[in-house]
Structure 1
C-alpha cells in the first residue's frame, strides 16, 4: 500500500524539476538580455561623447568661417560694425534654419503610427 503514496509524491517532484528548468532557462534569457542592454548603454554613451565632439568641431568650424569672412571683409575696408552685424545676421539665420529642421524632424517622429500598427483602434 505504500506504492500509491509514493506515486503522488513523485509527480510534484517532476513538476518541480520542470519548473526549475524553466526558471533556469528564463534566468539565462534575461541575463543575456541584461548583458545586451549593458552593451547598448555603453555603446550609446560612447556614441554620445563622440557626437558631442563632432558638434563642438562643427561649431568651431562655422565660427572660424565667419571670422575668416570678417577678416577678409576688414582687409577690404568694410566697417567693423557692418561686419559684426552681418556675422550676427548670418548666425541668426543659421539658427532659424536649424530650428526649422528640428521642427520638421519632430513632426516626422509620429509614434502613433507604430502604436496603431501594434494595437489598431476601432476607428481604423
Structure 2
C-alpha cells in the first residue's frame, strides 16, 4: 500500500511540476511579448519626439522670419529701425506669453483621476 501511494504521490509531483513548468514557460513568453511591445513603443516614441522637435524648430524659424519680413517692410515704408525692432520684440514676447498660457492650461487639464477612479473606485460611486 505504501508503495502504491508512493508511486501515486510521485505521479502527482511530476504532473504538478510539469504544470508549474508549463505555466512558467507561458509566463515567460507573455513577458517577452510585453517587453517586445515596450521596445517598439519606446522606439516609436523617441522617433515621434525627434520629429516634433524638428517641426517645432521649423515653426519657430518660420515665425521669426515672418516677423523679420514685416519689420523690413515697415522699415522700407519709412518707420524707424528701433521702432520696428521694438514692435517685433513685443510681438515675439506676446506670442511666447500666449504659448505659456496654453501650456499652463494643458498641464492643468492633465490629471489621472479618471484612471485612478477606474482602478480604485471611490466609496461615493459604490
User: Normalised by the shorter chain, which TM-score bucket?
Assistant: over 0.9
How far residue 123 of structure 1 moved from its aligned partner, in angstroms, is: 4.6
Aligned residue for 1:48, secondary structure, equals helix
Aligned residue for 1:21, secondary structure, equals helix
**What is residue 54 of structure 2 aligned with on the other side?**
53
**What is residue 77 of structure 2 aligned with on the other side?**
76
**What is residue 119 of structure 2 aligned with on the other side?**
118
Please give the residue correspondences for 1:1-124 in structure 2 after superposition, counting only pairs within 5 Å: 1=1, 2-124=3-125
How far residue 112 of structure 1 moved from its aligned partner, in angstroms, is: 1.7
CA RMSD of superposed structures (Å): 1.2
What count of residue pairs does the alignment treat as equivalent?
Answer: 124
**TM-score (normalizing by structure 2):** 0.92
User: Runs of 5+ in structure 1 lacking a partner?
Assistant: none
**TM-score (normalizing by structure 1):** 0.94
How far residue 119 of structure 1 moved from its aligned partner, in angstroms, is: 1.0
Aligned residue for 1:88, secondary structure, equals helix
Q: What whole-Å deviation, never above 9, does each CA across 1:37-65 have from its counterpart, x for those lacking one?
A: 00000111111111110000000000000
